[in-house]
Chains A and B, each alone.
Chain A
Amino acid sequence: MSKYLSLLLSSCLILLCACEEVVVINSLDRAIVQAYLYAGSSVDDIRLSQPLPFGVDEDSSGLPINDANILLTHNGEDYALSLSPGDSGYYHYEGEDLKILNGDSYQLSFEYKGIEITSETTVPPPPTGLAISQTELEVAPVTAPMQIRTLAQMPPVELSWDYQGDVYYYLLIENTVDSTEEILQLQAGGGPGGGGGPGGGGGRLRARFSFVSTPFQDINYEIQIPALTEYGLHRVVLFRVNQEYVDLYETLEQDSRDLSEPLNNIQNGLGVFAAFNSDTVWLDVRKP
């Protein structure tokens, strides 16, 4: 009988030892990743943060994580990222040997509070056949409110590219000239503005014009002239967006009843790790 009992007890022990692995991650121990790779560019847009607890009267952009040892892996080779100045949770790669290449996959990994966080993204192919309807645009300064209508009536600058399937793009329009003049030169009273000088706007320091569109699916884009606010040589970059960012973008809204969170491709974490590829055309905005 003892033989049978031993057999049964052994079976019970084996059963109990066969426990399933259950991993629990505290919400406040989760890392939030916002990491973007751009084909042909250096790696400098990777930010880590952590959630805030309820009831804390703080800006909800999250607490930066400044002590992570992040590895970016490409073709089996590890590249260690460094914390960027400012302790704002941004990381970059200092060397020149890490290339972001079309069609290649990159793995991001680091450990945070004992949890291994990983993600992977693949660089999409660039848009092809990108063309701009005009490379130079003459726009007269707008000095009176009535002239704004004239601006709006100008035909848009058209961008077009090849159809690559139901993929997403976003557009960056950025003035490459540091010191430039504004197109809108209205004064508070509606009279002629001071314009004309570097920095415009009465000599105030201001950032260069930059516009980023929301992701969209199309094979053309119209740049409406009133959207351009400065003179200068503008870089018009069409980014092809990979699926990870599309997933995030399409699920950005959280329903407060369901607490649905955006789709993410961060294993054991939150956020997004995405890669983009692009083509560039130029548009010079000039005075007549």
Chain B
Amino acid sequence: MCILFLWILFGPVQLLAQSGSYTMTGIVKAEKTGEPLPHASVKIQGTRLGALTNTDGWFTILEVPVDQAEAVVVSYLGYAEKSIPLDPNIETQNLIIELSTSEYVVEEVVIEAGTKQVMKSTGMSQISLNPAQIQNLPSLGERDIFRTLQLMPGVSGTNESSSGLYVRGGTPDQNLVLFDGFTVYHVDHFFGFFSAFNPNAVKDVQLYKGGFGAKYGGRLSSVVELTGKQGNTSEFDLDAGVGLLSGNLSLEIPLWKKGSILLSGRHSYPGLDNNLYNKIFDLFVEENVNPNVTDPSFQFYDANAKITLLPTDKDVVSVSFYNGQDDLDNSRVIDADRRRETPRGTVGVLIHNEISDLLSWGNWGVSGKWSRKWNPRWYSNMVLAWSNYYSQREQIANGEATIFRRDTMITRPLNNSFIEDNNVQDITLRLDNELKITTNHTLEFGTQLTSHDISYLYTRNDTTEILNRKDLGDLYAVYLQDVWTPMKGLEVQGGIRTTYFEPTNQIYWEPRVSASYGLESGLTFKAAWGKYQQFTNRIVREDVLNGSRDFWVLADGNDIPVGEAYHYIAGVSYEKGSYLIDVEAYEKRMSGLSEFSLRFSQERRGATPSANELFFTGTGVARGVETLVQKTQGKYTGWISYTLSEVVHNFPDLSDYAYYALHHQQHEIKIVQSLELGNWILSGSWVYASGKPYTAPGGLYELTTLNGDEYGYINVGSKNSERLPDYHRLDLSASYTMKIKRSRLQLGLSVFNLYNRRNIWYKEFEIQGNELIETDFQYLGTTPNLFLNFNLR
């Protein structure tokens, strides 16, 4: 082992591994900007050899046979495929392959195809997204990466109020979101109607829906890895855009061909009060109970900065910074008159409630990364990152309800006030290595050290402290995996991740294996199995009356167990010409799930419930079948997907029976189509999904104690036994791009929810006396949006 290591580190590189073959190395870049392109496909035509570029765009292909290799074919989502003929005289070391978008295609060397493609289904449960092309899809005021991901098969597309991803029955917290190496804990901007990531600052998005390798850890469900743009290394670049909600600006400044600076930011308009904003804001006021909104205000911003230095041909050093924040003042006055006259007098309730409701949340993230290509076989990168998510909410209610029961009238104060403060921080040091041992074996190994600091405070009525947690804990992980190609067409990836988690003082082993077998006919069979652990959890705080909320905590092995999941995935895909058919079946068995509820707190007479009486532990299973039919190339592209699934949770202390999880949706259909007509791009998407479950108060009853005292109760129905109506909506978009010298201007119109389907987001309940007041909170109706993007070079 030691000898192997020394050989890798210091030994001469065997460029000609054997007679008649050579090693090809190089980098794939965007021609226009010099931006390295990660996860680009590099194939040697005439052989079955190939590789994907790494995060810095580098690739290595060992033992390329001189007599069979005809050309190197490079493709990357949103760029024209490039084919470079190979002959004995061509340089095969440190190749620089530049790809063009359709506007800058050089006719002789490219096959123009897929340049407007938004997504590509690649590998085992993996989807690549091209941020540059998402503007061609209908959007809700702002083009958005996570909103686009929600149109992918296997990702729930009905969460208008959350950018978080519900992937294959997982929840957003079970989804590891990495941006330039730091973890992002909360991706919502502006009520969750779009995500915290500015697409101008992102160049590559990879979504792993399950069965992901040992390189990633700490989450049960899925991984989204976002790679930030490093900026144009050749020339100054400026992008500007305006939508109805915010304006954005990006600057890319080259540093003498030895690096670049990227500055990018978005900000909501001061005094934001346009029509779209008001529509969204109206979702948050209780319009069905005669609302009177006082001084609403909202603002958000985000800023990205990245400095990239290329000190040598083998090194890339970068520092990436992110900050985003949302502030919402949702104070309101509620007046509701639910009195009615009966022959025996007036019954019902009269409510007046003044609510002060302030909410602020945001993210900070900083990462420093050093990548080095030690030699053609060995690549390393080291990341030191700090991430912080914070959320503070203060709601103070001051009002009263007057209950009329024929000849009696009772006035009760309404004091449903609370304060929530959640702060999540981590510092992470990560080292990843990729080592090509032979043509058949690529070894990946690395380590991760993370120090967590998570606090959560929840108080009621200013004084009653329901929960006050301060959790500190370190995590040490190492992983090793091998990508093995034992025979033509077959690729097996096996690995193990081992984590020592300090709060539980335990070591967790996570073996994972996946395999794919591709036939010449275009048919590929794939399967994966793996074990996954999660140490930081976003816990649902159940609230039947006001809608459930959530907060982050660190697992402690007692009240909050370490989450565990087993993935079982099998599928087949068939790709022929411009068409792809992909079917995957999955099952995810989860344990160590947590929920926080005061409804089952067993709060005993005269005693404050302890934390362990408020957290409930359970198991869950998510299973389903995803089908995708996609047209991948040409002027007309798009996909149709259908997912049949179920998500069932079993928390014995919350329900006598297993129940459907809040995010369960049995059927989901997505149709996304895009047509390129000259400078015009027309697109549309239609989403249909079964209604989601919810819990509702069901009736009233009374118990009499042995000494004759009578106690009345509101009975809550079976957990999540009710169903919201089915969700569906149609969005359309048209955009026109014009070139003015070297600059580009794009104008567009997008219509969200064209046929004004009033989908229901959630329900709130108010109970006074024996009256139940039910309020439907609806999603957006028809919402048109204009946008303008400008690129100056």
Question: Nearest-CB distance from A288 to chain B (Å)?
Answer: 31
Cross-chain contact B703 with A271 (CB below 8 angstroms):
yes
Q: How many A-B residue pairs have CB under 8 A?
A: 178
Tell me how many residues of A have a C-beta within 8 Å of chain B. Answer: 62
Interface centre among A4, A51, A260 (most CB of B within 10 A): A260
Whether A272 and B703, one on each chain, are in contact in the complex, defined by CB atoms closer than 8 angstroms, is yes
Collect the chain B residues with CB atoms within 8 Å of residue A247's CB: 602
The winner among A18, A49, A50, A51 for most chain B CB atoms within 10 A is A51
Q: Check A179 for interface membership: any CB of B closer than 8 A.
A: no
- Does A270 reach chain B (CB closer than 8 Å)? yes
* B599 and A54 within 8 A (CB): no
Chain A residues whose CB sits within 8 angstroms of the CB of B742 once the complex forms: none
**Which of B43-51, B357-365, B654-662 is the interface stretch?**
B654-662
Whole-angstrom CA separation of A120 from B240 in the bound complex: 70
Task: Give the CA-CA distance A247 to B604 in the complex, in Å.
Answer: 8
**How many angstroms from the CA of A32 to the CA of B699 in the assembled complex?**
12
A61 touches B705 (CB 8 A): no
Given A15-B587, A259-B545, CB of A214 within 8 Å of CB of B707:
yes
User: Are the CB atoms of B700 and A60 closer together than 8 Å?
Assistant: yes
Using a CB-CB cutoff of 8 Å, which residues 4-26 of chain A contact chain B? 4-5, 8, 11-12, 15-16, 18-26
Cβ distance A19 to chain B, nearest Cβ, rounded Å = 6
Contact B604 A62 (CB under 8 A): no
A135 within 8 A of B: no
Determine the main DSSP class of A at the interface with B.
loop
- Which A residues from 236 to 266 make CB contacts under 8 A with B? 245, 247-263
Q: Roughly how many angstroms separate A201 CA and B702 CA in the complex, as a whole number? A: 33
The complex places the Cα of A170 from the Cα of B705 at a distance, in Å, of 11
Cβ of A251: which chain B residues have Cβ within 8 Å of it?
A: 602-605
Closest-by-CB residue of B relative to A53 is: B699
CB-CB contacts of B558-578 with A at 8 A, as 1s and 0s?
000000000000111000000
Question: Which segment, of B115-123, B715-723, B749-757, faces chain A?
Answer: B715-723
A205 contacts B by Cβ under 8 Å: no
The digit string for B680-719, where 1 denotes a CB below 8 A from any CB of A, is: 0000000000000000011111111111101111111110
Residues of A within 8 A of B712 (CB): 60, 254
User: Quick check: is A268 within 8 A (CB to CB) of the other chain?
Assistant: yes
State how many angstroms separate the Cβ of B417 from the closest Cβ of chain A.
10
- Which residue of B347, B544, B715 has the most chain A CB atoms within 10 A of its CB atom? B715
Q: Which of A18, A54, A254, A261 has the largest count of B CB atoms less than 10 A from its CB? A: A54
B89 contacts which chain A residues (CB < 8 A)? none
Q: Which residues of A contact B699 (CB under 8 A)?
A: 27-28, 30, 51-54
Interchain CB contact under 8 A, A62 and B570: no
Cβ-defined partner of A257 (8 Å) among B405, B545, B658: B545
Closest residue to B660 on the A side, CB-wise? Answer: A22
Q: A22, B657: Cβ atoms under 8 Å?
A: yes
How far is the CB of A9 from the nearest CB of chain B, in Å? 9
Contacts of B707 in A (CB 8 A): 170, 212-214
Q: Are B605 and A253 in contact (CB under 8 A)?
A: yes
Across the interface, A60 reaches (CB within 8 A) one of B342, B597, B625, B770, namely: B770
Q: Which residues of B have CB within 8 Å of A28?
A: 698-699
- Expressed in whole angstroms, the Cα–Cα distance for A54 and B772 within the complex equals 6
Q: A32 touching B599 by the CB < 8 A rule?
A: no
A57 at the interface (CB under 8 A from B): yes
Main secondary structure on chain B at its contact with chain A?
strand
Residue A188 is within 8 A (CB to CB) of chain B in the complex: no
Whether B711 contacts A11 by the Cβ 8 Å rule is no
Q: What is the CB-to-nearest-CB distance from B393 to chain A, in angstroms, rounded to a whole number?
A: 16
Q: Flag if A22 contacts B714 (CB, 8 Å).
A: no
Contact with A along B576-608 (1 / 0, CB 8 A): 000000010101000000000111111111000
Q: Is B762 an interface residue (CB 8 A)?
A: no
**What A residues does B598 contact at CB under 8 A?**
255, 257-258, 260
With both beta carbons as reference points, the residue of chain A lying nearest to B659 in the complex is identified as A22
Is B523 engaged at the interface, CB distance under 8 Å to the other chain? yes
- Do A270 and B601 have beta carbons less than 8 Å apart? no
Q: How far is the CA of A32 from the CA of B698 in the complex (A)?
A: 14
Q: Does A164 make an interface contact (CB < 8 A)? A: no
The answer to whether A26 and B717 touch across the interface, beta carbons within 8 angstroms, is yes
Select from chain B the residue with minimum beta-carbon distance to A23: B657
Selected contact of B572 from candidates A8, A30, A34, A214, CB within 8 Å: A8
Chain A residues lying within 8 Å of B601, measured Cβ to Cβ, are: 258, 260
**Contact at A60–B702, with CB atoms within 8 Å?**
yes
A36 within 8 A of B: yes
Least Cβ distance of B125 to chain A in Å? 15
Contact of B604 among A24, A30, A250, A271 (CB under 8 A): A250
Does B767 sit within 8 A of A, measured CB to CB? yes
- Any chain B CB within 8 A of the CB of A146? no
Q: Is B610 an interface residue (CB 8 A)?
A: no
Residue A86 at the chain B interface, CB threshold 8 Å: no
* Chain B residues, CB < 8 A from A12: 583, 585, 625
Contact of A20 among B597, B648, B656, B697 (CB under 8 A): B648
Taking a contact as CB atoms closer than 8 A, the residue among A11, A30, A51 that contacts B570 in the complex is: A11
Write out the residue numbers on chain B whose beta carbons fall within 8 Å of the beta carbon of A62.
701-702
Query: How far apart sit A249 and B767, CA to CA, in the bound complex (Å)?
Result: 24
Residues on B with beta carbons closer than 8 Å to the beta carbon of A272: 703
Q: Are B710 and A61 in contact (CB under 8 A)?
A: yes
Residues of A within 8 A of B316 (CB): none
CA distance A194 to B482 in the complex (A): 101
Residues of chain B in range 379-417 having any CB-CB distance to chain A below 8 Å: 405, 416
User: In the complex, are the beta carbons of B718 and A34 less than 8 A apart?
Assistant: no
Interface residues of B (CB under 8 A from A): 342, 344, 347, 405, 416, 460, 521, 523, 525, 544-545, 570-572, 583, 585, 587, 597-605, 621, 623, 625, 644, 646, 648, 650, 656-660, 697-708, 710-718, 721, 767, 770-772
Question: Can you sample 6 A-B contacts with CB below 8 Å?
Answer: A25-B717, A170-B707, A252-B605, A258-B544, A259-B545, A263-B602
Given contacts A248-B703, A252-B711, A261-B716, 14 further A-B contacts (CB under 8 A): A11-B585, A20-B650, A23-B656, A25-B717, A26-B721, A27-B697, A30-B715, A52-B699, A55-B770, A57-B344, A61-B702, A254-B713, A256-B714, A259-B599
Interface residues of A (CB under 8 A from B): 1, 4-5, 8, 11-12, 15-16, 18-28, 30, 32, 34, 36, 49-57, 60-62, 170, 212-214, 245, 247-263, 267-268, 270-272
